[in-house]
Amino acid sequence: MISRRHLIQIAAASQLSQLIGPTQAAAPELKLGVAEPFSYDALKARVAELAKKPYAPPPRPNPDVVTHMNYDTARNLTFNPDLAVYGRGTGPYPITLLAVGQLFLKTVRMHVIEGHEAREILFRHYYFNHD
């Protein structure tokens, strides 16, 4: 299985043109990880636990990849609005994601919360359109 970081490296190195084609752009939905229990109280406890530890920065993308993701490349790399979280009327605002590059150097794990469960949004290259 290819990791998200490795896939981003491959995509950026090839200027994304070979990986993002019309068949991938038409993907029907976000891919989500395994459901984990979620509650506001558990979230507050996790924040308190992390606050007691020294800061640990998130993983950064490979610098060789980031150099290929200049302003113009990033500007033309847009999230497919059909895949927006809560984009089909289940929430007040659709949520789209940004790709890692020169402008966004820190990776962030994103989750969808439904009821008492949280599921991580798993990276897929077809989430992004390259104009």
pLDDT tens-place string over residues 83-104: 888 777 666 788 888 877 766 7
pLDDT tens-place string over residues 54-90: 998 887 777 776 777 777 777 788 888 888 887 776 6
Query: Tell me, what's the pLDDT at 21?
Result: 41
Q: How far is CA 25 from CA 11, 17, 64, 73, 94, in A?
A: 14, 12, 26, 17, 18
